[in-house]
Amino acid sequence: MPPFTKIPNSPGTSNELDALKEKLQQVFDLVESKLEALASNLTSELDPELIDVLAKTRVMIPPIPSIPDINLQAEIANLAALSPSSGEYAAKLASIKTSFGAAISAGGYDLDSIVSDGVAALNSDIGSLAASIPNMVISDELAGLSIATEISKASLQAIDPVQPEAAPSFSRGESFDSITGLGGDGYAADRTAESFDNLILNMSEKLEWANKNPGEYEGPITEAEERESN
């Protein structure tokens, strides 16, 4: 590489390009001066210089614009917002046909039917554009090639407000249904209280009998004793 010579105030010069050339010259000079040195030593000196070269190179590269995906359903929605008798409507329809016509035909669909179904869904209170027409998209990488692919239908997002969950209530007045075998909360509560009262009564009676007959009560019968008695 010939030595870099910077010409001051030269017409058409670029400060960014001059800075990159100057840094590259410094890198070449560094490598040339270390030809007899160990590679490991050269690496430690060369790495930060190459990082600087990369940074100066990126300064010269303009940012690549981001092109959003082109979606058929969105295009139909934009078309429906135009007056069918306007030139904008005709131009948009032609653009949709150019971009998605091949994919629509390959999928067995008809553009006129897609347009009419899409417009009808948008004008309906209960219709869904996502459910009415196929979901096709041209990715940003293929935007210039008009290569559309059909993807799964988009999931609908909830639009109704969240409904609060009602707190559970106690239905005291609902009685037992002998046909279904079901009872209300009040019936269940009454049976539970009745069972508990019977249990307390039974325990009280046993305790009273045990107090009156201290020599006869030997405690609860074990399972082994019960098997022997049987």
Residue 163 in any domain: the answer is no
* Residue 78 and residue 143 in one domain: yes
Q: How far is CA 107 from CA 93, 117, 150, 176, in A?
A: 19, 16, 8, 60
pLDDT of 94 reads 92
- The confidence score (pLDDT) of residue 202 equals 81
- pLDDT for position 219: 57
Tell me if 223 is assigned to some domain.
Answer: no
Say yes or no: 80 and 141 in one domain. yes
User: Does residue 143 form part of some domain?
Assistant: yes
In a domain? residue 166: no
139 falls within a domain: yes
Same domain membership, residue 80 and residue 137 = yes
User: Which residue in 62, 57, 49, 50 sits closest to 17, CA to CA?
Assistant: 57
Complete DSSP assignment for 114-142: HHHHHHHHHH-SS--HHHHS-EEEE-GGG
Task: Please check whether residues 201 and 129 belong to one and the same domain.
Answer: no
Residues 55 and 80 in one domain: no
Count of structural domains, the chain: 3
Write out the DSSP string of 35-83: TTS-HHHHHHHHHHHHHHHHHHHHHHSPPPPP-PPEEHHHHHHHHHTS-
My answer on whether 87 and 136 are in the same domain is: yes
Note whether 32 and 102 are same-domain residues: no
Residue 159 lies in a domain: no
- The answer to whether residue 124 sits within a structural domain is yes
So what's the pLDDT on residue 178? 66
Asked if 97 and 105 touch (Cβ cutoff 8 Å), the reply is no
> Within this chain, do residues 92 and 144 fall inside the same structural domain, yes or no?
yes
pTM metric for this prediction: 0.41
22-31: which pairs have CB atoms within 8 A and are 24 or more residues apart? 23/49, 23/52, 23/53, 23/56, 24/53, 25/1, 27/53, 28/1
CB 121 within 8 A of CB 133: yes
Beta bridge partners of 230: none
Phi first, then psi, for residue 135 (nearest 5°) are -100, 100
For the chain, 230 residues long, give each residue's pLDDT as a single digit of tens. Answer: 555 555 566 666 677 888 888 888 888 888 888 888 787 778 888 888 888 888 888 888 877 666 677 888 889 889 988 988 899 999 999 998 888 888 888 888 998 999 998 888 888 766 677 778 888 888 766 555 557 888 877 666 666 777 787 766 666 666 666 676 666 677 777 778 888 888 888 888 777 777 777 766 555 555 555 566 55
- The residue type of 3 is P
Domain housing 44? 15-60
Is residue 22 domain-shared with residue 43, that is, in the same domain?
A: yes
**What does the CA dihedral 73, 77, 83, 85 come to, rounded to 10 degrees?**
0
Strand order in the sheet with 135-138: 70-71, 135-138, 149-151
Q: Which residues contact 33 (CB under 8 A, 6 or more apart)?
A: none
- 193-206 b/e (C-beta count within 10 Å ≥ 16 → b): eeeeeeeeeeeeee
